[in-house]
Amino acid sequence: MASLQEQLLKAGMVDEKKAKKIKQEKRKQAKQPKGTVIVDETKEAAKRALAEKSARDREMNRLRQAEADKKAIHAQIIQLITLNRIDRSRGDIAYQFTDGKKIKKIFVDSLLQTQLVKGVIALVKLKEGYELVPAAVAEKIKQRDESAILVHNDKATSTADTVEEDDPYAAYQIPDDLMW
């Protein structure tokens, strides 16, 4: 009776090189002491590759989740601004502010200008435009994205009321109607 290896050779399923290699591995396994464990390099490489793939997948999922969170926060900001914006259609006074390194202007009425200066309302950026929102809404927006708020004066510190001790221009009063 022929061995399985010989039967596979006759059937053409295995070539002679492969058969010799299998025989050598069998001899090596037979010569190994009973207590030693044979490490299969291909299995170890497969395990490492699987671990690396799972680490890459986790990183990609984390990045996708961060991007989804960023989009959700941006949508919340847009919703807060659109629902709470203050109508400034009858504005006749130009209010100038900085957006990055550029000086921009919007037109507001005198009441809105006073509220902006006192910090009752804030100026925020909505896509490519600018809107006015109440201070409470500005705080909610600030919690989500601080860069969306362009002008939000602090109510507690009013620059007109406080004078520094060593200010050389303390004797000169600034007119109330001065605008830049």
Whole-prediction pTM: 0.57
pLDDT digits (tens, 9 = 90+) for 41-50: 888 888 999 9
Euclidean distance between CA atoms 52 and 58, whole angstroms: 10
Class of residue 26 by CB neighbours under 10 A (exposed 0-12, middle 13-18, buried 19+): exposed
Grade residue 121 by pLDDT with cuts at 50, 70 and 90.
very high
In this structure, how many other beta carbons lie within 10 angstroms of the beta carbon of residue 19? 14
Give, to the nearest 10 degrees, the angle between helix 135-144 and helix 41-84: 170
CA 117 to chain centre: 32
- Structure tokens that stand for 8 in this block: 């596979």
Q: Using a pLDDT cut of 90, give the percent of the chain over it.
A: 42
Residues in Cβ contact with 107 at an 8 Å cutoff, skipping those fewer than 6 apart: 88, 91, 92, 93, 94, 95
pLDDT digits (tens, 9 = 90+) for 11-26: 877 788 888 888 888 8
Q: Quick one: pLDDT at residue 39? A: 67
Across the chain, mean pLDDT equals 85
